[in-house]
Amino acid sequence: MNQLVTETAKAEADGKWQPEIIAFCCNYCAYAAADLAGSRRMQYPTNVRVVHVPCTGKIEMEHILGAFERGIDGVLIAGCLEGGCHFLEGNLRAKKRSEYLREMLDQIGVGRDRLRMVNLSAAMAPTFVERVKEIVETVESLGPNPLRKSGTP
């Protein structure tokens, strides 16, 4: 993640800021959708890094807050369809956590719109690409993460 932030700092110095987004994708559905998008050669912004997780319910709040603390501009959590979680209720726990974190991000001045959760099936590659493009556009309109210190990783 530090390399990602360093690359972003270099881009900012060149005047070409691009938001850096992390997409936490569950193994069974969202990661499979991302993989399918890649297999189909579907295009989405290259400044999105996909992180493969066993279940979105395993993502702790510290992971997301740590990403923002390190200067990441946006986070997408992509899990199974509601009612279709392979770990029964993992995506429902992730949804509750993400709603809580969105409130917290507003309170600390980062902004709730930098965090988004979506639910996908493994066959929803086009939807995955759309959601990734949406969060990139949203974060571009918000500008750089206010927690990022310019020029430092």
Report the predicted TM-score, pTM, of the whole model to 2 decimal places.
0.86
Provide the b/e sequence for 3-12 (b: ≥16 CB within 10 Å). ebbeebbeee
Segments making up each domain of the chain, as ranges = 20-138
CATH 1.10.1220 fits 20-138, yes or no: no
Determine the pLDDT at residue 152: 45
Residues 6+ apart with CB under 8 A from 86: 26, 27, 28, 29, 55, 80
Q: Which residues in the chain land under pLDDT 70? A: 1-15, 150-153
| Euclidean distance between CA atoms 106 and 94, whole angstroms | 18
Determine the pLDDT at residue 34: 95
Determine the pLDDT at residue 86: 86
Strands (E), the chain: 21-26, 48-53, 74-80, 115-120
The pLDDT tens digits of the residues spanning 78-118 come to 999 998 898 889 999 999 999 999 999 999 999 999 999 99
